[in-house]
Chains A and B, each alone.
Chain A
């Protein structure tokens, strides 16, 4: 299909052992969940899609995003966003600077326009006025929301989520989960979720692929 993420005959090996083989396509706004135990190659799959496959692995197959083949495109040009277990907000930048980090620079855009964009983004996640704060002073939930917003501000064409809720405690997990998937659906991009928690998969609401 034109929009969306497509995996054609993707096969990952480590040495001579095959980790996984997969073909699928993800429509915009859809979240596909890949589930499996540790060591089955879930994270490796995400690394492959994002363009970071380690030297120990060999991969076959193709990845298409919005119709374009990605195999020869370097990672920073793929427009694929990654959400990790930890929020990984840059500790040396303020909250606003973190959000600005991935913001695509548009020609003729003034700094004030960018600042107001950031402020709007902060309002959207309920952290209005938090722009100048030190990221380490934010709570876990707040950090997760900022991380997600940072991701979205980079206008990705696809999003990969690597067990993003497993470091959050039970109460927070529900709240952040709902927030994340609502936001993703509104953003209308294809998403790949990797998790071992069934509740995550159910909240995602899309197809579930078991490894």
Chain B
């Protein structure tokens, strides 16, 4: 189980760390006993210590279905493990990062406000760089092996940055496009055909304003696709490294593309929607006829909620779309680390993953592969894949890896510089 290198490394340091920590405990006996020595490999001890703990789970709260799912998870963790899970609803994950950094600045090393954070990408890399995360712990979880990280390396990679066991997978998502099949017979399946289509049908498309996650995602998607068309360079290497001085040259096609299509967008690009949800409701109201979301279940769940018409269909671009895994991490100053680990492990269990996968209202895919579910569960999953509006698994297999997190920052900065100040 797990990475043998990390295990050996951890075991070696444990021999030195243990006596030192014991000394600290004796000297500062007033601090919480469960702080300093958390033995991630001793799972029975962790479960025992987790019982009775209160875990503050900082996760984006803008999705009521996800909030409801987490309420169910909380009820289960309480009844099964005696852990009180509290979902702290964030408007934006980066606010959790800010808070953590502020706590660190103020010297708060033991009573942090978050025990578990849902994050990925730049948020994770920022915290990992600043050494604000507890770990490694993820691969020591009993359920980690279900993820089959050797076969699916993206379980250990977060936007190209190695997780090194500092975060545990929870959900995965992929960019999909969707459209109203009553108004659009053949949607554009490449960036070029998107541009052609927009010229002939102005006002039928738009995207959320960066730095909203979905808007930046479109920028990355278009950039990768346009760069692949223009140059013959090694796209993978180019984008898994941070951008360097060639950023302007590399991103030039993207800005040229946007300059061309902006006048043909909804509201002539004088105002962008704030989120994917607003984009969806614009499609539903027939303001636009093409939209996109970072969730394969988007159309199915929206149809079931009555938020999209049953005639809506979803698809993936010909050359693939961006896909990533999102994780949960534990801050260094979390008071309830054991509880947090127990919760993360529970999130990886087939039961929770299946409940999420079959929840028509949720917007994500499970991180457990098909084989981990029981035959009954597999039958249900297959049935769901055939629902109207669902993306076919063959299309979903066309995945593009996320670029290095720094690309996000640079792209957002440049977009804001060019378009953020208004015309």
So, do A and B actually touch in the complex, CB under 8 Å? no
- Which residues from chain A sit less than 8 Å from chain B, CB to CB? none
Which residues of B are in contact with A by a Cβ distance under 8 Å?
A: none
